[in-house]
Structure 1
Amino acid sequence: MIGALRQLGIPVISELEYAFRHCSGRVLAITGSNGKTTTTTLCHHILAECGVDAALCGNIGRSFARTISERSYDWYVVEVSSFQLDDVVTFRPNIGIMLNITPDHLDRYDGSFAMYAKAKLRLAANMTGEDFLIYNSEDTILQAEFGRAEMHFQTCARTDADLPDHVGRPENLQGKHNALNLACAIGAAKRIGIPEIEIHEAIASYKKPPHRMERVAEIEGVMYINDSKATNTEAAASALESLERPVIWIAGGQDKGNDYGYIKSIVGGRVKTLICLGIENKKLIEAFSAEVDRIKETTSVFEAVKLAASSASSGDVVLLSPACASFDLFKNYEERGDLFRQAVHEISGK
């Protein structure tokens, strides 16, 4: 239907665009292939804890349009996906955060990474000299796009190294990727005018959403971590890199055009056993057969946890970080993560 409307020359806009046209407050918008939910919730938490009238909405579950229909806020902290950006016309955040652009959802973009990246970059397409963009300068696409001197809006480059040493990091915000998320969130909060000491106090009380490097339990010296939200290779790579213990890795699901080549070096020497949780695991097995000594397959998350437990020794980590979508076996990544958590509690006897 949408295609037919476009062929007739009838304008089609996204929900994000519709909401923006009726928004009277200011907008802090966050996008990226990975880390956007953590960064969005962290930004909102800081603002709310520091007394800013702010709403949390967008791709995170509560739509931007529904939020503005209920009442007005001074600030709208909006998580934005590539799908929502496909059909924006005038959408223009006052502050934008772009975390990274890595291959994801290529099944939607005819296998074209260039088309996917173009959609993500639309976040900044209408920004003016009054607006402020924070971007990850270690991302080659973002640096090429925004690292130029002639930008018509204000920019601020950030990397994980820009996180001040004196910032107290909660246990659930460890790892290089979360250092970047924190650095960007702090930059946005400072831009809004929140004193640095208040920002740091707010960070200390932040609780990350579930299914993102969520520590479920430690059983007989083995840590079980639910990272079901890791639905692409970049997210899984970040999870693996953040761990210093040997890993039993549960991965697999519905492939989204994944390229596993660049994470082979991360997997090799770090992953003891790979447990493929999916209907079709051939690509995953072929990708890592030379890097991992033991590879097992199952279509049951409960069986996957049992296989992981039997393969693990004290000091190991069992990591569910699928690098794939969940739709071959589950309704969504939340169901996959919830069942993983349930399976872990069953073997622990809780």
Structure 2
Amino acid sequence: MNSQVSGFKAKISKQRLVVLGGGESGVGTAILGKKKEFEVFVSDFGKIKESYKQVLLHHEIEWEEGGHSEAKILSADIVMKSPGIPDNAPIVIKLIAKGVKVVSEIEFASKFTEATIVGITGSNGKTTTATLTYELLKQGGLNVALGGNIGKSFAEQVADGRYQNYVLELSSFQLDGIDSFAPHIAVLLNLSPDHLDRYDYKYENYIASKFRIAMNQTKDDYFIYDADDIEINKWLTQNPIQSQLLPFSVTKQLKQGACIINNEIVITIDNNNLTMPIGTLGLQGKHNQKNAMAASTVANLLKIRKTTIRECLESFQGVEHRLEKVLKINNVMYVNDSKATNVNATFYALDSMSTPTVWIVGGVDKGNDYTELLPLVNEKVKGIICLGVDNEKIIEAFGNVAETLIETHSMEQAVKQAYRLAERGDTVLLSPACASFDLFENYEDRGRQFKEAVRHL
């Protein structure tokens, strides 16, 4: 069986594909598997959304929810595990013990496309950079799709077969499930401790996971990375990679890659230069300068015209749930940064605040260390509103720093408390630094509930 599995690209009559998880990536993989003539079975330990059930029924794909039929799953030739399912889930442990290949959607789908793939990962800025890169390539006239950890599933788009280029936002969980996946252009934006609960609380395990994006690259591929990031530099020194390195930096001048000279972004690839004034960027802030550098380096490599790159960088206004200005009420600005699911993302958010801030924080802690936020909280935050089932760690970290600290257990409650605390000229910032799964479906649901609650004030 193993020889069949390792070569699952070849058409072998009715190989059995089992998909664990009936969400976006699971259903997309099931559709692709069916199209490629696998015998497909979808199993979800929880509930499958009605809309996804309809898709599975339409494609005549067998599915189950509310538990796993072990015999049906263990008879698989190959299993696609959705990114939310941990490696230590009992069914996954049994599959691996039996020698069944368990992969991610990204690995499975990449077998069935010859398209150029740009893979973008990092602890923060993935969605913004992936969306900006997609816009640059699309406006540059390329036939391109956006997928991975964002939007429509990569596998479903591969099944569709219409695209010659993909920009994929990739999480560490998706990269954990790859075997031979190799993007032509890999981007590593930054590293900061995140999801440590899935990595035995070891930062080095998480870092190794992120670097999997480059593990199958060759000398004909490119690796774009933040040259200001200590952990990235350390890893590259100890673990040389095969691809061509293109660094970006806001602190040093670089002969090859992207840097800042005289308030202009300068991108140099093989003596070919592109310049862009920082002041005209649609998204401001140092982290967005880096996101712009990474995205335009990709666009440059894929031969997008310089004028198109400049115009796109000037007009790009960011993505939903990332420092998104919602409304100004009584001269108080409400900002939705629900996508800040780790401490580093919240650091950027607080750092960008220029007015006294009422900060809504909390959710599922992923092994967070809040100490790096203390100076910013001291300087900028006038009140903290905890929003989570368990707020103990946040209270412990900031109880003596903020003049006001209030516990809440619903978004409506949190926004009402923020409204009472905020005065003219202040900002109310939702930047949770935590995952959302205690009170919300996901960070999008959390962000939308915030916007809804603000509009109802």
Same fold (TM over 0.5): yes
Q: CA deviation at 1:20?
A: 1.2
Could you say which residue in structure 2 is the equivalent of 1:54?
Answer: 144
Could you say which residue in structure 1 is the equivalent of 2:405?
Answer: 295
Could you say which residue in structure 1 is the equivalent of 2:277?
Answer: 166
Residue 197 of structure 2 contacts residue 366 of structure 2 at CA under 8 Å; is this kept in 1? yes
Q: Does residue 201 of structure 1 match 2:326?
A: no
- SS for the counterpart of 1:107 is helix
- SS for the counterpart of 2:437 is coil
Q: Distance in 2 between matches of 1:267 and 1:52?
A: 44
Residue 298 of structure 1 contacts residue 304 of structure 1 at CA under 8 Å; is this kept in 2? yes
- Structure with higher RCO (Cα < 8 A, 6+ apart): 1
Q: Give the unaligned 5+ runs of structure 2.
A: 1-90, 252-258, 266-275
Deviation string, structure 1 residues 11-62 (Cα, Å, up to 9, x no partner): 2222111111111111111001111011001000111111111111111132
Residue 199 of structure 2 contacts residue 206 of structure 2 at CA under 8 Å; is this kept in 1? yes
Q: CA deviation at 1:146?
A: 2.9
Q: Distance in 2 between matches of 1:160 and 1:344?
A: 36
Structure holding more strand per residue: 2
Could you say which residue in structure 1 is the equivalent of 2:7?
Answer: none
Q: Does residue 127 of structure 1 match 2:220?
A: no
Could you say which residue in structure 1 is the equivalent of 2:321?
Answer: 211
| TM-score, length-scaled by structure 1 | 0.95
Q: Does residue 26 of structure 1 match 2:136?
A: no
Q: Percent identity among equivalent residues?
A: 44
Q: CA deviation at 1:290?
A: 2.5
Q: Distance in 2 between matches of 1:37 and 1:269?
A: 28
Moved over 6 A (4+): none
Q: Distance in 2 between matches of 1:325 and 1:278?
A: 10
Q: CA deviation at 1:9?
A: 2.3
1:308-323 alignment runs, 5 A limit: 308-323=418-433
Could you say which residue in structure 2 is the equivalent of 1:43?
Answer: 133
Change (3 A) 1:67 1:160: farther
Q: CA deviation at 1:263?
A: 1.5
Aligned-residue CA RMSD (Å): 1.6
Q: Give the unaligned 5+ runs of structure 1.
A: none
Q: Distance in 2 between matches of 1:323 and 1:246?
A: 19
Q: Distance in 2 between matches of 1:308 and 1:142?
A: 38
The structure with more radius of gyration:
2
Aligned residues: 345
Aligned partner letter, 1:109: Y
- SS for the counterpart of 1:30 is strand
Could you say which residue in structure 2 is the equivalent of 1:7?
Answer: 97
Aligned partner letter, 2:277: H
One of 61, 69, 74 as aligned partner of 2:159: 69
Q: Does residue 186 of structure 1 match 2:296?
A: yes
Q: CA deviation at 1:147?
A: 5.6
- SS for the counterpart of 1:268 is helix
Could you say which residue in structure 1 is the equivalent of 2:35?
Answer: none
One of 260, 280, 304 as aligned partner of 2:414: 304
Residue 214 of structure 2 contacts residue 241 of structure 2 at CA under 8 Å; is this kept in 1? no
Deviation string, structure 1 residues 49-86 (Cα, Å, up to 9, x no partner): 11111111111132211111102322111111111111
Q: Distance in 2 between matches of 1:81 and 1:93?
A: 14
Q: Distance in 1 between matches of 2:231 and 2:99?
A: 32
1:183-332 alignment runs, 5 A limit: 183-332=293-442
